[in-house]
Amino acid sequence: MERLQVPLYLAAIAVGVCAGLASPVVARAAEHAINPVLGVLLYATFLGVPFRQIGRAARDGRFLATILAVNFVLVPIVVWGLSRIVAHDQVLLVGVLFVLLTPCVDYVIVFTGIAGGAKDRLLAAAPLLMLAQMLLLPLYLRAFAGAEFVATVDLAPFVEAFFFLIVLPLTVAVLTQVAAARTEWGRRLEAAVTGAMVPLMMLTLGVVVASQIAGVNARLGSLLLVIPVYVLFAAIMVPIGVAAGRLARLDVPGQRAVVFSGVTRNSLVVLPLVLALPAAFGLAPLVVVTQTLVELIVMVIFVRLIPRLLPIPSPTA
């Protein structure tokens, strides 16, 4: 399954599209399943990380500084320029700003690991990235969308999502690793969960797509304008991430992690926050979901592309 993971992920997306368009009942059930499924996926992801190395990763100041500079200095500059494409429509603008200004802290770790990136260091940076975006997002929204809009934002859903999608799976993964080091059942559980990573990713992709594809399809005319914004963002952030990683003289796994962190956005975690906006911004959640659909396809491509763009040097070289 690992050898065939790219076509399997594409198949899962296709199944999600067909199921979501064919049955509103399936779409509603899938929407309720997003957070539980994502939580299980993140549990499996965290379980595959050697937590004994997290302390060393957290002390990697060069990597952390690069990640923060890319996401909170360079990304806002890129987002400001690209957001001018939709600046005439405040609802589209707000959706684009919410999703592109918030770096991913969950399934980016999965894709980074698949591509041979430094997922342990990225995991160590996740709490800092989450805290920084919570503090800086209102400032960026004020600068890009206006002070009047910022007054409508409620951060409570953001904090709740962080607890249930990051803290809880991470804690259970640590406890499982402790049990695996001491008991036979713990070792069996750890092996079973980490071995199920590809099916769990397929399930997550299918559920997310099935839950939202009908809404995207119904408003496709209004949402078409944001698709080029998301594609251009991903394309621009690749050379920026590569350049930043090389400038910081990171190793190849670190450079790959920087690229994925710069490209991948916090769409699934920020979605509850956007859903809490006033009724006038009813299209904004679909703007965020459209980014999710574009990003999932981009990530499936990037897990193959980035290792070729940033290959591990051979011993002879």
Domains contained in the chain, CATH given:
5-309 (1.20.1530.20)
Nearest one of 110, 66, 53 to 250, comparing CA atoms: 66
Judge whether 256 and 306 are in contact, CB under 8 Å: yes
pLDDT score for 188: 92
pLDDT in tens, 99-149: 999 999 877 888 898 899 998 888 888 888 888 888 898 899 989 988 777
Residue 230, pLDDT > 90, answer: yes
Report the pLDDT value the prediction gives residue 145, as an integer from 0 to 100. Answer: 87
**Would you place residue 269 in the very low, low, confident or very high pLDDT band (cuts 50, 70, 90)?**
confident
Q: Please tell me the predicted confidence (pLDDT) of residue 56.
A: 65
Instruction: Report the pLDDT value the prediction gives residue 316, as an integer from 0 to 100.
Output: 60
Angle, helices 284-309/5-22, rounded to nearest 10 degrees: 170
The per-residue pLDDT for 278 is 79
Here the tokens at position 229 are 């914004």
Q: Quick one: average pLDDT of 26-40?
A: 88
Torsion of CA 83, 85, 91, 94, to 10 degrees: 0
Stronger pLDDT, 155 or 202, i.e. the higher one? 202
Q: Residue 236 is encoded by which pair of tokens?
A: 């621009």
* The pLDDT of residue 57: 63
Residue 21 or 53, more confident: 21
Contacts (Cβ under 8 Å, ≥6 apart) of 95: 226, 274, 281, 283, 284, 285, 286, 287, 288
> Which of the given ranges, 33-47, 150-164, 247-261, has the highest pLDDT on average?
247-261
Tell which wins on pLDDT, 313 or 117. Answer: 117
- The sign one gets for the Cα dihedral 308, 309, 313, 316 is positive
| Average pLDDT, rounded, for the chain | 87
Percent above pLDDT 90 for the chain: 40
